[in-house]
Structure 1
Amino acid sequence: MTAAITCAILAGGAATRLGGRDKGLELLGGRPLVAWVLAAEGLRPAEPATLERVLIVANRNLRAYGHHAETISDTLPGHRGPLAGIAAALAACASPWLLTVPVDCPIPPVDLAERLCAAATAGGPAVVAHDGERRQPLFALYASGLAGAAAVAAAQGLGVHAWQTAIGAREVDFSASRVHFGNLNTAEDFAAFDEHLRKRS
């Protein structure tokens, strides 16, 4: 792929298993979780494709997120889930393609963008990672022309997985990188990752 991409970090979740705290701003190894995702090599495609813009999609603490990257919010009323965030990112995307990743996965596969971009050259409106056991619907690459379809589906209450199936998204095998799709949902998850970092340092 020779086109430029925009990356959207989806940070609009309710974080119910974390007591409602904003996961992306929780500290991990001394810095906010969103900073880990922003620094991840996996967000950057291989040449000649380029990453031209990064967005954070959030529903609260927009000013705090704005210290890290350009931040936008969902446009649909109520908490419509991650598809609403994807729809907002697609609407704001001026690149031909939009890469999405969740904010609660600090170290996504290093070749995530590279391999999704390569798979997209085979055609179709979207490609999505599969970890060998299940689809990882928030790790995906979409043609930006899907903005309208995503907004309609989100307004109808459709989930991301179901919408991807409806539009014919193709799965890309990331079974060799399954561990990198692990996300942080609870205080115990954050503590365990912090301990892992301390042991590595």
Structure 2
Amino acid sequence: MGKYVLIGSRGCGSAIIELAMLQAGAEYELEEIPYLEPGPDRDRLLELNPLGQVPTLIMPSGEILTESAAIILHLADTFPDAELAPSVADKQRPAFLRWLIFIVSEIYPTWNYSDDPARWQLPEANHKRYRKALEDHRLDLWRQVEDVADTPYFLGSDPSALDLYIAVMRNWTPGGDTFRRLFPKLTDIADNIAGQDLFGNVLRRNSGE
């Protein structure tokens, strides 16, 4: 199998895919770009992914794959021993699929909506209240994940890509201190991943440490 090319940006969701690549033992090259800044890098990204978002993955075949959950499921199929997802016959499979889609469809978009309120044509006077409402909603969503989480991995003794999402996203707004105070089980999962030598460098680079 040839090399993947992962187009990503520091501090973004592409870090989740980079961790998954490491866990799978996949050969990949990271192209780290400032994906929101106008210029040749963004122009190329828009040609590959009209949404202009990262992660965007160029597969060994040259095909383009976007959306982190789709990339995770592809890697799980391609590298079945990597423990990125329970097998189809595994009793944990339904829970894995449920919470993978919950994280990417419910929690992840809250940052897309809150990062630039002007994008939604909201009056500037409402930006602060709008962000606060989204942050409160995000915490409510994380509480649902905390309530069902096991340890040391989300699925108990079985690692999966859910742990990688938690390890990366716990550093996003409102940040690690608030996350640690409100979500002790999720923090244990994230600390478990961060303590593994395989993942430490990527997590430190993307958390700004």
Above 0.5 in TM-score? no
Higher strand share: 1
Q: Which has the higher contact order (CA 8 A, sep 6+)?
A: 1
The two structures have a TM-score, normalised by structure 2, of: 0.35
The two structures have a TM-score, normalised by structure 1, of: 0.36
